[in-house]
């Protein structure tokens, strides 16, 4: 299939691109490199021994995205491009709505113009908000607590309306917590500045770039008092996209699908697994709770199995060993 991948140079996009090329799909990447490096794409070429085109550009730019789509004539689009920092979204919400919502609108208009009928979209478990029950299934009430989460929810609703116009398919994937890296250690997560997320922070402590981890709260109502999340290996997430794109090609309408393992791990369990993977201690201290954090959540991942025939195969140990391999081989990310 010919697949346009927006945000294909990013963390999840680059791993998915690799899987799509390995499955013999043809790809075009559109990325403005606002949060990624073209080097990730060079490494995907090297790992797959496959070439693909890259268009540097912004998904919000309708004339440019239309021209790209017109020339490539994709049969499906996987839409990763967007902004993703929860904290930043509370400071510059309009920026988030512009990239995430307007970006998607421009993309859908450009797709309509050439009759491209299939899209897979990166949504997030953050759309659920405070859990009414666990695991979250796709029918759980939606109550995102920040502009980032609301931008994802708005796009989900837009996609449902778009897909209802006939002969179209939107697969909305609600990711839980993607971590880890490709087994080669050549591509991985490369956050700019101080990492917000747990595993990149732990990785940077282990490699000596940061002194210690701050564990945000140990007085939650969880098994060891620290926050519990459903961490999912980025390579499992990538394979879910390959399955979703095939599903979209054979179905009409919109489907919302959780992508997680169904298993929660606490902050301290992640630290322990990482210490084992890296073979060294990860110093940490207990800090106050982080505003807006939820104590515990994890996915009901049964719909993904039922509809896509997909389920996660990697363990927390795999996630930590691959994250460590990437971090130790590339202590400064793609900068070297």
Cα 130 from Cα 202, distance rounded (Å)? 26
Which ranges constitute the DSSP H helices of the chain? 11-22, 38-48, 62-72, 86-91, 93-97, 103-114, 147-163, 198-206, 234-249, 267-278, 302-303, 316-329
Q: Is 148 a catalytic residue?
A: yes
Comparing every residue's Cβ against ligand UFG, the nearest one is 227
Cα 227 from Cα 215, distance rounded (Å)? 9
Sign (positive or negative) of CA dihedral 78, 17, 267, 303 = positive
Part in contact with ligand UFG (CB under 6 A); list of ranges 8-16, 54-62, 209-217, 272-280:
209-217
Strand-pairing partners, residue 77, are 4, 119
Please list every residue from 253 through 282 that binds ligand UFG, using CB under 6 A: 267
Cα 187 from Cα 47, distance rounded (Å)? 9
- Return the residue of 4, 81, 259, 299 that touches ligand NAD, per CB under 6 A: 81
Rule CB under 6 A: is residue 84 a binding residue for ligand UFG? yes
Contact 185, 334 (CB under 8 A): no
Size of the site for ligand UFG (CB under 6 A): 20
- Return the residue of 5, 13, 199, 228 that touches ligand NAD, per CB under 6 A: 13
Burial (Cβ within 10 Å: 0-12, 13-18, ≥19) of residue 235: buried
Rule CB under 6 A: is residue 229 a binding residue for ligand NAD? no
Contact 296, 132 (CB under 8 A): no
Please list every residue from 159 through 178 that binds ligand UFG, using CB under 6 A: 176-177
- Return the residue of 2, 212, 223, 290 that touches ligand UFG, per CB under 6 A: 290
Give the nearer residue to ligand UFG in terms of CB position, either 109 or 214.
214
Decide: helix, strand or coil at residue 83: coil
In the complex, what is the shortest distance from the CB of residue 325 to ligand NAD, in angstroms, rounded to a whole number?
A: 19
Decide: helix, strand or coil at residue 84: coil
- Return the residue of 66, 89, 118, 122 that touches ligand NAD, per CB under 6 A: 122
Rule CB under 6 A: is residue 125 a binding residue for ligand UFG? yes
Cα 323 from Cα 272, distance rounded (Å)? 14
Rule CB under 6 A: is residue 178 a binding residue for ligand NAD? yes
Part in contact with ligand NAD (CB under 6 A); list of ranges 75-83, 199-207, 282-290, 326-334:
75-83
In the complex, what is the shortest distance from the CB of residue 52 to ligand UFG, in angstroms, rounded to a whole number?
A: 27
Q: Tell me which residues touch ligand NAD (CB under 6 A).
A: 6-7, 9-13, 31-36, 58-60, 80-84, 99, 103, 122, 124, 175, 178
Q: Tell me which residues touch ligand UFG (CB under 6 A).
A: 84, 86, 124-126, 176-177, 196-198, 201, 213-216, 227, 229, 267, 290, 293
Q: Which residues are catalytically annotated? A: 148
């Amino acid at each position: 299939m010919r697949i346009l991948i927006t945000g294909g140079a990013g963390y999840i996009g680059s791993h998915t691109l690799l899987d799509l090329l390995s499955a013999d799909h043809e790809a075009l990447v559109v990325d403005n490199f606002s949060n990624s490096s073209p080097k990730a794409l060079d490494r995907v070429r090297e790992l797959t021994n496959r070439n693909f085109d890259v268009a540097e550009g912004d998904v919000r730019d309708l004339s440019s995205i239309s021209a790209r789509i017109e020339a490539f004539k994709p049969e499906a689009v996987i839409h990763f491009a967007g902004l993703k920092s929860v904290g930043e979204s509370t400071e510059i919400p309009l920026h988030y709505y512009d990239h995430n919502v307007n970006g998607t609108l421009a993309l859908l208009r450009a797709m309509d113009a050439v009759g491209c009928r299939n899209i897979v979209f990166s949504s997030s478990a953050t759309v659920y908000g405070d859990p009414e029950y666990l695991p979250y299934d796709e029918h759980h009430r939606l109550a995102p607590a920040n502009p980032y989460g609301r931008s994802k929810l708005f796009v989900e609703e837009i996609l449902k309306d778009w897909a209802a116009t006939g002969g179209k398919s939107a697969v909305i994937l609600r990711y839980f917590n993607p971590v880890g890296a490709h087994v080669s250690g050549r591509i991985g997560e490369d956050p700019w500045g101080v990492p917000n997320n747990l595993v990149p922070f732990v990785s940077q402590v282990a490699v000596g770039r940061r002194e210690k981890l701050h564990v945000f709260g140990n007085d939650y109502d969880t098994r060891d008092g620290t926050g519990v999340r459903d961490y999912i290996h980025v390579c499992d997430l990538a394979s879910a996209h390959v399955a979703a794109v095939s599903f979209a090609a054979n179905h009409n309408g919109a489907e919302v699908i959780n992508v997680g393992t169904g298993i929660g791990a606490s902050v301290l369990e992640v630290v322990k697994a990482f210490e084992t993977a890296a073979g060294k201690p990860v110093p940490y201290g207990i800090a106050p709770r982080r505003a807006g954090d939820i104590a515990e959540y994890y996915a009901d991942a049964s719909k993904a199995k039922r509809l896509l025939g997909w389920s996660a195969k990697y363990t927390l140990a795999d996630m930590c060993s691959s994250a460590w391999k990437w971090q130790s081989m590339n202590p400064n990310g793609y900068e070297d």
